Amino acid sequence: MTQPVNATSTPPRAGLMALDDALAQLLAHAQPLDGEESVATFEADGRVLAHDIVSALQVPPKDNSSMDGYALRCADVRTAGARLRVTQRIAAGLTGVPLHSGEAARIFTGAPMPLGADAVVMQEDTLLLAHENPEGVPQVQVNAVPQVGQWIRRSGEDVTLGATVLQRGERLHPASLGLAASLGLAHVRVSRQPRVALFSTGDELVMPGDVAPEAMPAGAIYNSNRFFLRALLHRLGCEVSDLGIVPDRRDTTIAALKSAADQHDLIVTSGGVSVGEEDHVKPAVQSLGALNLWQIGMKPGKPFAYGWVQRDVPGRAHFIGLPGNPVSSLVTFLLLVRPFILQLQGAQQVQPVRLTLPAHFDVTKADRRREFLRVRRNDQGGLDLFPNQSSGVLTSAVWGDGLLDHPAGSVIQKGDLVSYLPFADLWS
Ligand code: AMP
Ligand code: MG
């Protein structure tokens, strides 16, 4: 195997902007939004914490049993077979009384340890004797010699009082919601949701449901971008206004942008940012603010636009124009818009996770653009390549489970270590 290929070592084709430069420029504009809100911990999945969370208690609060069994004093069980009097029963939610020498407490998982006990013996290692001793107290025979501390979960072993458990800028996920709840938090303070207006451009687009497949006119295609873009925005914690399909006319495009700017932090469009005559987005945004049309040295996804639209009220809305080809739209969203939106929310970690894995295929033809190949992990721990890498083939992104970041001007030989970005992370 060779060393991992350096993803940015090759300069892009002349006239194209390097993806890393485009991302840096984009992030330079992504000032975190003002404002935070309190949301129910139940509803906070995927949101970004606005403050550190400091624990006001110990978790667990008290030493407790991690087994169903008997709490006892190890000094009483020097040899297997020792018998102890069972003087109390402590279920989860109850508290016991101090345990004296010669005594055991029947105890259940999660129940607090009684004072004086220093170990738990699991019930499988004991025998409850049916007969009772003369005092009327049942006895337990302990068949394994315990070690001090065994099967005890210590107070604070998860979280200590005063510890910073979750940090400002962290994105909450299911386990962090559980952890916040374990500290007694019914609500958490998070950055406010970015308000995003989404619209598609293109007269060829038809919404699924509006026209049946057999009745589709020649030249028409269904609007697929709208579906994944909206889902991705929701997953990133955005409040989305779906403004539908804007006809390929300058006046309608201007009207749509103008009304969206006042109410939104960001306007995202797909299509219409190539340099064709039917691409009206560029002049429309320019007439309302500013637009930079970038030709990024990446494949799929060369055309990409960033700019802003002036509001009637003071301020501006960000504008991002994605390419129309579905895979280009998807990949540019994942690599550029996702970090931008996370940074708007003050997230600390905006770059995707990368893994180094062996390619189990060859790429013999070098491309002059940095490519993001749709690949899938196989059972041998390597990556397989989807055969059709065309920017219109969405099947590649459904079959694939991630992107292989393939530097411009290089080839891949089977066994080469490559840089892989899992979709599992990119679309969370
Ligand atoms: P454009 O960037 O507008 O030139 O579009 C490039 C290609 O992507 C064309 O083949 C369009 O028909 C297609 N396309 C544009 N928008 C969408 C969309 N929302 N859903 C599916 N395909 C699209
Ligand atoms: Mg178009």
For the entire predicted model, the pTM comes to 0.90
Nearest ligand, measured from the Cα of 329:
1
Residue 278 CA to ligand 2 center (angstroms) comes to: 6
Q: What is the pLDDT of residues 377-410, one digit of tens each?
A: 999 999 999 999 999 999 999 999 999 999 999 9
Residue 223 CA to ligand 2 center (angstroms) comes to: 11
Average model confidence (pLDDT) across the chain: 94
Residue 162 CA to ligand 2 center (angstroms) comes to: 56
Evaluate if residue 97 carries a pLDDT over 60. Answer: yes
Residue 324 CA to ligand 1 center (angstroms) comes to: 4
Mean pLDDT across the stretch 271-292? 84
Of 200, 245, 325, the residue with max ligand 1 atoms within 8 A of its CB, to mutate for a pocket test, comes to: 325
- State residue 5's pLDDT score: 45
Mean pLDDT across the stretch 213-238? 97
Q: pLDDT-derived band of residue 13, with 50, 70 and 90 as boundaries? A: low
Evaluate if residue 270 carries a pLDDT over 60. Answer: yes
Q: pLDDT-derived band of residue 99, with 50, 70 and 90 as boundaries? A: very high
Q: What is the pLDDT of residues 17-36, one digit of tens each?
A: 999 999 999 999 999 999 99
Kindly give the number of the ligand 1 atom that is closest to the alpha carbon of 224.
20
Evaluate if residue 117 carries a pLDDT over 60. Answer: yes
Kindly give the number of the ligand 1 atom that is closest to the alpha carbon of 325.
8
Evaluate if residue 8 carries a pLDDT over 80. Answer: no
Show the ligand 1 pocket: residues with CB < 6 angstroms.
200, 202, 204-205, 221, 223-226, 270-272, 274, 276, 323-326
Q: pLDDT-derived band of residue 277, with 50, 70 and 90 as boundaries? A: low
Of 221, 232, 322, the residue with max ligand 1 atoms within 8 A of its CB, to mutate for a pocket test, comes to: 221
- State residue 9's pLDDT score: 46
Kindly give the number of the ligand 1 atom that is closest to the alpha carbon of 328.
8
Mean pLDDT across the stretch 206-229? 97
- State residue 136's pLDDT score: 79
Q: What angle, 0 to 180 degrees and rounded to 10, lies between the N-to-C axes of helices 250-263 and 281-288? A: 50
Mean pLDDT across the stretch 96-114? 97
Residue 303 CA to ligand 1 center (angstroms) comes to: 12
- State residue 131's pLDDT score: 66
- State residue 252's pLDDT score: 87
Q: What is the pLDDT of residues 72-82, one digit of tens each?
A: 999 999 999 99
Kindly give the number of the ligand 1 atom that is closest to the alpha carbon of 270.
16
Nearest ligand, measured from the Cα of 269:
1
Nearest protein CA to atom 17 of ligand 1, as residue: 324
Evaluate if residue 1 carries a pLDDT over 50. Answer: no
Question: Cα(3)–Cα(9) distance, rounded to whole angstroms?
Answer: 13
Residue 202 CA to ligand 2 center (angstroms) comes to: 4
